[in-house]
Amino acid sequence: MLKKVKYPDRGSWPNLVKRPVQDYETLEAQIKSVFEQVRLTGDEALLQFTAQFDKVELTKLLVTPEEFNAASSLIAENLKKAIQQAYQNIKTFHEAQQEEFTPVETMPGVTCWRKSVAIEKVGLYIPGGTAPLFSTLLMLGVPAKLAGCQQIVLCTPPAKDGSVHPAILFTASLLGIDTIVKVGGSQAIAALTFGTSTVPAVSKIFGPGNQYVTVAKQMAGKYGVAIDMPAGPSEVLVMADETTDPTFVAADLLSQAEHGTDSQVVLLTTSEQTLQAVEQALEDQAAYLSRQTIVTKTLNNSLGIILSSTAEMLEFSNLYAPEHLILSVKNYEQVAVGVINAGSVFLGPYSPESVGDYASGTNHTLPTNGYARAYSGVSLDSFVKKITFQHLTSQGLQQIGPHVEVLAAAEGLDAHQQAVSIRLKSLAHV
């Protein structure tokens, strides 16, 4: 199961926190070719690539009103209610992130402020693959709508029959998103980057995806399109001690391991007995999972590390900077104070990471691969720009102007100095 490491010396920690290397460079030439074809032939290239990569022959790229209308009747009532509850919780949490900026008078007659302005056009990429990630649509669509983005374009790969999963369509309807394009992979990112006759070009692209999508998003940046964050395979780190219920911990590790064989799970513990109990629980629970093969491969590439104290576990975790951090320890509230690098933190035995993935309200689009050292997860701020404003009265310029003249002269920027001096001279004659 897990690769066991007992009491590693600190010199080995940097190697232990390294993620499996992703060789993206070999994909760049192929994806650049896709980008170029989409740029040159637009929808024609999208239809061609959908047939080539997804094995689906489409005649139209957009989801029709009839498909939207049929979606609600194709999913169970309990799923609709669950989606609606998740929507409400996510909306409540993200509404609280809205800010009113108060003007600040930095000195008499000099007033500065800033305000949030929505990014006008955003693209949301929702993977299809082995699971329809309507939960990710909620995580991206809710803050996009709250921010006031004028145009939201959703790209998702079609199923083999050319349809889009009804749960995604139901969720899109709930959000008020009606532009859904049946296209996936790097070609979808290219379409959002350049625009086609069907797909509007956007200013920022959000959403997870496989290695092709990851590289394509990086390439989009070279064409002036922003992305949500660098992202890679999903991951979780669990801190556990002798008070931990090993069945809970095993369930959390498995829930992350089933994402894919490139995911990584890490267990930190101060108790060898706890590690053994968790490993037994992993074996027992994995036997009943539909993705048992994926889970087994993931666990074989993952770590179970025994450290000497809770303080040492916290130090290791902050170095690792996990996407998801679960504090399954006795004094989790105290430990949480010391967390400085993590995407999202789950406190105590009754806060499974699955809840954050779906419905508690926090966003599950989070930095991976150690990027939590510098990046935040998606929030309302991800969909807005903060624009600063300033206004000076004549008296304000007379007070601050001489200082600016001195500063500009010291940097040798005469035109900067002159822009102030001319105004001050005009005021002197008033």
**87 token code pair:** 């929507």
Query: Which residues in 42-58 are b (16+ Cβ under 10 Å) and which e?
Result: bbebbbebbeebbebeb
Q: How far apart are CA 350 and CA 334, in angstroms?
A: 17
Instruction: Look up residue 155 and give its DSSP letter.
Output: E
The annotation status of 364 as a binding-site residue, yes or no, is: no
Q: And the tokens for 92?
A: 């409540």
Catalytic residues: 323-324
411 labelled binding-site residue: yes
Do 365 and 323 contact (CB within 8 A), yes or no? no
How many Cα neighbours within 13 Å face the side chain of 430?
8
210 annotated binding-site participant: yes
Cα end-to-end span (Å), the chain:
83
Residues forming beta bridges with residue 154, ordered by sequence position: 124, 180
For the stretch 324-342, what's the b/e string if a residue is b when 16 or more beta carbons lie within 10 angstroms of its beta carbon?
bbbbbbeebeebbeebebb
429 annotated ligand binder? no
- How open is the CA angle 324-139-180, to the nearest 5 degrees? 135
- Residues 56 and 127: their CA atoms lie apart, in Å, by 16
Burial letters 200-209, b for 16+ CB under 10 A, else e: bbbbbbbbbb
The answer to whether 125 is a known ligand-binding residue is yes
Q: Which regions of 40-140 does DSSP assign to beta strands (E)?
A: 104-107, 110-118, 121-125
Nearest to 131 by CA among 91, 179, 167: 167
357 annotated binding-site participant: yes
Pairing state between β 226-227 and 204-206? parallel
Query: Annotated binding residue at 324?
Result: yes
The answer to whether 95 is a known ligand-binding residue is: no
Residues in the chain: 430
Amino acid letter, residue 158 = P
**206: enclosing H helix or E strand:** strand 204-206
- Residue 97 counted as an annotated binding residue: no
d(CA 92, CA 73): 27
CA 180/CA 77 separation, integer angstroms: 23
Residue 37 is labelled as binding a ligand: no
| Cα 91 from Cα 105, distance rounded (Å) | 34
Binding residues for substrate: 234, 256, 259, 324, 357, 411, 416
Binding residues: 125, 187, 210, 234, 256, 259, 324, 357, 411, 416
Binding residues for Zn(2+): 256, 259, 357, 416
Binding residues for NAD(+): 125, 187, 210
